Structure 1
Amino acid sequence: MPQQAYVMRCGSCGARNRIPENRVGDAARCGRCGSAINTRPLTIGHPIVVADADFQDKVLQSPLPVLLDCWAPWCGPCRMMEPFMDELAAEWRGRIRVCKMNVDENPRTSSRFHIQSIPTLLVFDNGQLRNTLAGALPKHSIVQAMSPFLKS
């Protein structure tokens, strides 16, 4: 049976690199430019909290595609989505980085991406906004929207 491999982007040149499952945690180098690649993001199976101060690092420079959940604690639909966002983070570990950003605490990023209603999901890949999904969505709709990013 073939071993699973993950795909990560190099932080220096943006090249996609395959990381064999048994090498996660080892030192890795980009096949194109030779830069070091941190494989630790492949081990994270929970949503990562993002703030204005670390948005660039955690989202735009992510070696994996990112699903950013823009939410607020007072929002009922946001709270309804939270359990399956946790599930997706675990299911997509090593393939998609699931993040959460409280829009009330992070007005700069919320304004930058014109978040006018919550929940809003933003999809990023290689530092670029690729899709915006507004409103409370069922899990299967999110999976369908993310399917292009789940292919190796």
Structure 2
Amino acid sequence: MEIIEITKENFKQEVLKSQLPVLLDFWGPRCIPCKRLMPIFEELAAEYDGKIKFCKVDTSENRSLTHQFNVMSIPTLHFYKAGNIMKTIRGAVSREEIEEHLKALLD
């Protein structure tokens, strides 16, 4: 299970051109809800290894991507399939809600 750090340099290749669906987490190192989400994100990455690609964008380090996608609050989760955003969730979210959207990506 590898969680890929996304930057403007690798975004297109890792997210838009991915053969697998992608869950992209916009987070920040001082964000408490982001820190609470991290263990859930890691568990799901292990469970869906080889089925869904898990990626993270540190908003403090990658402001251009943050602005490009109009991320106004963190955490923000983008669910991608075939290079298209299928769903966006902002703020604290339960494992169950994330998993519901992951399963929808696999259908």
Question: What band does the TM-score fall into relative to the shorter chain?
Answer: over 0.9
Distance (whole Å) between structure 1 residues aligned to residue 25 and residue 67 of structure 2:
15
Distance (whole Å) between structure 2 residues aligned to residue 46 and residue 84 of structure 1:
14
Spell out structure 1 runs of 4+ moving beyond 3 A: none
After TM superposition, give the deviation of residue 150 of structure 1 in Å.
Answer: 2.7
Match 2:34 to one of 68, 71, 78: 78
Residues 82-130 of structure 1: per-residue CA shift (max 9 Å, x gap): 0010001110011110111101111111111110000000111111111
Q: How many residues align?
A: 107
5 Å-filtered alignment, 1:122-133, equals 122-133=78-89
Q: Which has the higher helix share?
A: 2
Structure 2 alignment gaps of length 5 or more? none
TM-score norm. by structure 2 comes to 0.95
Match 1:87 to one of 43, 50, 63: 43
Q: Larger radius of gyration, structure 1 or 2?
A: 1
Structure 1 alignment gaps of length 5 or more? 1-44
Root mean square deviation, CA, Å: 0.9
After TM superposition, give the deviation of residue 46 of structure 1 in Å.
Answer: 2.7
Residue 68 of structure 2 aligns with which residue?
112
User: Residue 2 of structure 2 aligns to which amino acid in structure 1?
Assistant: H
Q: Structure 1 residue 58 and structure 2 residue 9: aligned?
A: no
TM-score norm. by structure 1 comes to 0.68
Distance (whole Å) between structure 2 residues aligned to residue 46 and residue 79 of structure 1:
18
Structure with higher RCO (Cα < 8 A, 6+ apart): 2
Residue 100 of structure 1 aligns with which residue?
56
Match 2:23 to one of 62, 67, 78: 67
